Amino acid sequence: MVGEKSGDEIIKHRMMEHWDDDYKRYQEKHKISENLVHYGPNCPTEDDLHLLGDVRGKHIAEFGCGGGQCSIALVKRGATCTGIDFSRKQLEFAQGLAEKSLDAEQRGRIQFIWSDLERMDAVPDSAFDIGFSAFCFDWIQDFPRLFAGIRRKLKISGFLVFSLGHPFYKCLDEQWDGQLPPKLKNPYFQREDWEEDEQGRAIRYKIPTLGDLFSFLADAGFQVERLLEPEPINSKGSVEAWDFSDDYPPEVARYVPVTLIIKASVK
Ligand SMILES: C[S@@+](CC[C@H](N)C(=O)[O-])C[C@H]1O[C@@H](n2cnc3c(N)ncnc32)[C@H](O)[C@@H]1O
């Protein structure tokens, strides 16, 4: 019962409902490729960045896998993947896509687990060589808890690669008025924003600064190896991977980085 939940749990419950309601629009609009491992809008893909290395034979956990496209692309490259998400609708979509786009041998190397990333009891510990996530941590409410959980799921030799919306970009008004340079809306140090979804639900975004992210990772036992703020590219591959150009106008992206990518290894 929603009435019995604490404030944070009510917000989390709303976010799950949001994704169950929104998954169809999200998948239809963005037509995400299951052949490419994407990081963000107009952003180079893994084929350009090579942050994961040779994934053949590796066990990969994808945190916030959504429709499963990146996990499927990684399985096609020889990995064994576990996609984790808290939207049952996204996971149903992912399962259907895996059945359509993978052969029987490949299907044996993919599974999906329903779980909140901040409470991953259903996911085995010390099981993964690589943790991966694309544009999901924007929804995370408790980063120290998230990174401590991920650390437990990785092997000692493991590493984590994730992308999320750049915290500086989140200072801008999301409704661009066509002016350049773009106008700031929020202070960089606000660390939180609220938005109403299409159903009128109030969604809370936690927005760590770059420094916060670095500290959260270090405190959870990670060492940051790479930090990327890719400039927008308009190659066919980047648009094919994940077409988000309506939401992130390339003109604005030339002023302020849209995507932040971090690679961190277990200390
Ligand atoms: C913007 S989508 C990204 C999905 C996928 N990585 C992609 O690139 O298409 C964000 C995803 O994160 C999931 N998500 C958000 N918060 C979560 C949480 N706390 N635990 C598990 N999944 C979460 C949502 O259900 C949604 O599928």
Q: What is the 3-state secondary structure (H, E, C) of 60-111?
A: EEEECCCCCHHHHHHHHCCCEEEEEECCHHHHHHHHHHHHHHCCHHHHCCEE
Which atom from ligand 1 is nearest to the alpha carbon of 16? Answer: 25
3-state secondary structure of 153: helix
3-state secondary structure of 239: helix
Distance from C-alpha of 112 to C-alpha of 97, rounded to nearest angstrom: 12
Contact 246, 220 (CB under 8 A): no
Quick one: tokens of 92?
Answer: 């149903």
* 37 Cβ closer than 6 Å to some ligand 1 atom: no
As a whole number, mean pLDDT of residues 197-217 equals: 95
- Whose C-alpha lies nearest to ligand 1, atom 25? 87
Q: Cα of 85 to ligand 1 centre, how many Å?
A: 6
Q: Which pLDDT band holds residue 250 (cuts at 50, 70, 90)? A: confident
DSSP 214-228: HHHHHHTTEEEEEEE
Query: Any residues with CB less than 8 A from the CB of 242 and at least 6 apart, and which?
Result: 30, 32, 33, 38, 40, 41, 134
Q: Cα of 117 to ligand 1 centre, how many Å?
A: 9
Query: Any residues with CB less than 8 A from the CB of 75 and at least 6 apart, and which?
Result: 81, 98, 102, 106, 109, 110
Domains in the chain and their CATH numbers?
Answer: 2-266 (3.40.50.150)
Is the confidence at residue 237, as pLDDT, over 70? no
Q: Cα of 136 to ligand 1 centre, how many Å?
A: 4
* 135 Cβ closer than 6 Å to some ligand 1 atom: yes
Counting residues of the chain whose pLDDT is more than 90, the rounded percentage is: 84
Distance from C-alpha of 206 to C-alpha of 192, rounded to nearest angstrom: 5
Task: Report CA torsion sign: 111, 142, 222, 152.
Answer: negative
Is the confidence at residue 2, as pLDDT, over 50? no
Contact 69, 98 (CB under 8 A): no
Question: pLDDT digits over 50-79, tens only?
Answer: 999 999 999 999 999 999 999 999 999 999
* 163 Cβ closer than 6 Å to some ligand 1 atom: no
Is the confidence at residue 4, as pLDDT, over 90? no
* 112 Cβ closer than 6 Å to some ligand 1 atom: no
As a whole number, mean pLDDT of residues 196-207 equals: 93
Is the confidence at residue 243, as pLDDT, over 80? no
* 64 Cβ closer than 6 Å to some ligand 1 atom: yes
pTM of the prediction?
0.95
Quick one: tokens of 258?
Answer: 């849209």
Q: Which residue shows structure tokens 């990327």?
A: 228
Contact 154, 128 (CB under 8 A): yes
Cis peptide before 181 (omega within 30 of 0): yes
* 90 Cβ closer than 6 Å to some ligand 1 atom: yes
Q: Which of 91, 139, 145, 259 to mutate to test the pocket of ligand 1 (most atoms within 8 A of CB)?
A: 139
| DSSP type of residue 183 | P
Q: Specify which residues 263 forms β-bridges with.
A: 161, 226
